[in-house]
Amino acid sequence: MLKARLKALFIILIALFIISAIKPARAEDFYYRGPKLNPQSANSALFLTPVREKTGDSLTLDLVVDPAGEEINTVSAEISFPTDKLFLTNLSKTDSFCSFFVEEKIDNNLGEIKISCVAPYPGTDKMSNVVSLTFKQIDSGAAELSLSPDSLVLANDGYGTNVLKDLKGQTIY
């Protein structure tokens, strides 16, 4: 009987010790501190490279992101092209820094390409390829490819801060 009481007292003392060691949560622990990055200082760029490969009427260029040293993990781009000059034949993700493509819409009738992709932690902080685009040139002359101002480059800061500062399309001759 005495052993049972000592055992119960010992368990109660251990429980009190554990309870007293638990730190109660404070309101400050749940306070929103805002993004770590200052969006005004963001200077990432999203651009289309000049044609890197041309074979007959087929030409290839890349969509590239330059995060300028910031860690990024998400890119969302909308590219438009003239349908009377170009026809998209291939969109390659082989050399992309992204692992997951959550959106990939190609409309050759409207001349629109929409790409959204994500890279797991830590993402990248170096100039990286997003996708390679191969077009069939339907007609000669200048063809203007442009990036929509709705395009995004999101920082890997836990808040999805858009750090995109500069967009640059490309003219193909």
Per-residue tens of pLDDT for the chain, all 173 residues: 677 777 777 787 777 667 666 766 565 554 444 445 454 556 899 999 999 899 989 999 999 999 998 999 999 999 999 999 999 999 999 999 999 999 999 999 999 999 999 999 889 999 999 999 999 999 988 999 999 999 999 999 888 899 999 999 999 88
Whether 146 is covered by a domain: the verdict is: yes
Assigned domain for 58 exists: yes
Q: Which residues pair with 139 in a beta bridge?
A: none
The CATH number covering residue 63 comes to 2.60.40.680
136's CB contacts (< 8 A; 6+ apart) are: 57, 58, 86, 87, 89
Tell whether 34 is covered by a domain.
Answer: no
State the residue range of the domain holding 111.
43-158
Give the predicted TM-score (pTM) of the model. Answer: 0.74
Domain assignment present for 79: yes
- CA 98 from chain centre, in angstroms, equals 7
pLDDT at 33 (0 to 100): 47
Residue 11 lies in a domain: no
- Is 151 inside any structural domain? yes
26 domain residue, yes or no: no
Q: What pLDDT is attached to residue 24?
A: 64
Is 36 a domain residue? no
The domain total for the chain is 1
